[in-house]
Structure 1
Amino acid sequence: MALMSNPIPRDPRSLGVTPEELNQSIEEILAEPAEDLAAEAEQLNQAHELLRAALQEN
């Protein structure tokens, strides 16, 4: 009979993403050339979603 282990919660002190990794990801998104305002708005939305997710994790 296999023993089931209890889930180990994530250490709340550990970061899901480091500030440097987050900054690099956002810079990569914003560095892509935008052909028009709609494309630029989408880039900003993607960068905002990354930031929001990182803030929710931490």
Structure 2
Amino acid sequence: MTEKVPTKKSKLSAAQIGLILKQAKNGVPVADLCRQYGMTPHLALRENVRRPFGNPTG
């Protein structure tokens, strides 16, 4: 028997994540973005895998 563990919803909207990725692509250090938006570098890396810096909208 396996129980499903609920996943946390992101505090950031898709639009905010797209903006963050766009800023990172334009040269803003990821560490600065993490501090500004209150996220971990792990989240930044995970979102970059979902939406690479070259394509912040999808």
Give TM-score, length-normalised by structure 2. Answer: 0.31
Relative to its length, the structure with more helix (as a share) is 1
